[in-house]
Amino acid sequence: MTSLFQKIQTLINANMHGLVDRALEANSVKVMDEYIRQAERNLEALEDSAATVGGTVRTLKRKYEEFSAAAEKLDRDIDTLIIKGKNDLAGAAQAELNTKQELAQEYFEQWQAQEKQYQAMLDMRLKLESRLSTIKQERERLKALIELAESKKIMTKTIKSLDGLANTGDKEIDSLTQQIRARIDREDARLDMATRNLQEEIDMAVGNSRIDTQLEERRRRLLGGSASE
């Protein structure tokens, strides 16, 4: 899965201006077609993996809730056994409670780790879909730009970049190149914002979960100590 993530991250981080320049240098959109094919293959693989991890998240959450509920019931039963003076049964129940609490905590930690990975995968999917959509749109515009340049007898095979086309002195071609450049810049800006926002949400979610766990453990300790007195 690490290899898949690396491939997808490479596609997401691809320099779109550089991709357009290479297409212009080759006077063909084939390089963009290859990017599209790779992105679509990896997007499909990512969706399959995300579905698997998402299923695991649901399973771990359910297991955590089952063991937590069982532990809470045992905790109440132990109080009842102590009140009735059945200390042997209370001791056995306490041992079982310890085991269930440990298992519940393990499931909780696994659930949180898998949830974080799952959210990261969903984020990668959104960003790759955005990149793919943008490159498909720019492929069509670039194709039209190349055809327009050819029709105007501009030697596009000697032009290496959008800047080169923008300097041909043709207003129509200059307008198209500026539009392509601006859209790619906006897409890069959106990608940066999405990356920062998701990381902040993940950090907050993980931090809140840790605090909730600490408070729950404190409540159990305080209430348990009060009951024994």
pLDDT digits (tens, 9 = 90+) for 102-132: 999 999 999 999 999 999 899 989 889 988 9
Residue 162 lies inside a defined structural domain of this protein: yes
Structural domains counted in the chain: 1
pLDDT at 143: 83
pLDDT at 29: 87
Residue 202 lies inside a defined structural domain of this protein: yes
Residue 185 lies inside a defined structural domain of this protein: yes
Give backbone dihedrals phi and psi of 88, rounded to 5 degrees, phi first.
Answer: -60, -45
Higher-pLDDT residue of 112 and 157 is 112
Q: What is the mean pLDDT of residues 192-197?
A: 62
Instruction: Give the pTM.
Output: 0.63
CA–CA separation, 11 and 14 (whole Å) = 5
**C-alpha closest to that of 114 among 44, 62, 191, 39:** 62
Residue 127 lies inside a defined structural domain of this protein: no
pLDDT at 227: 41
pLDDT at 50 over 80: yes
CA–CA separation, 80 and 82 (whole Å) = 5
Q: What is the mean pLDDT of residues 81-93?
A: 87
pLDDT band at 203 (very low <50, low <70, confident <90, very high): low
Residue 93 lies inside a defined structural domain of this protein: no
Residue 112 lies inside a defined structural domain of this protein: no
Q: Which two tokens stand for residue 98?
A: 């310890």
Residue 148 is part of which domain span? 2-56+134-228
- Mean pLDDT score of the chain, rounded to an integer? 78
Residue 29 lies inside a defined structural domain of this protein: yes
Residue 43 lies inside a defined structural domain of this protein: yes
What type of residue sits at position 49? S
pLDDT digits (tens, 9 = 90+) for 133-142: 888 888 888 8
Q: Which of 17-26, 156-165, 167-176, 197-206 shows the highest mean pLDDT? A: 17-26
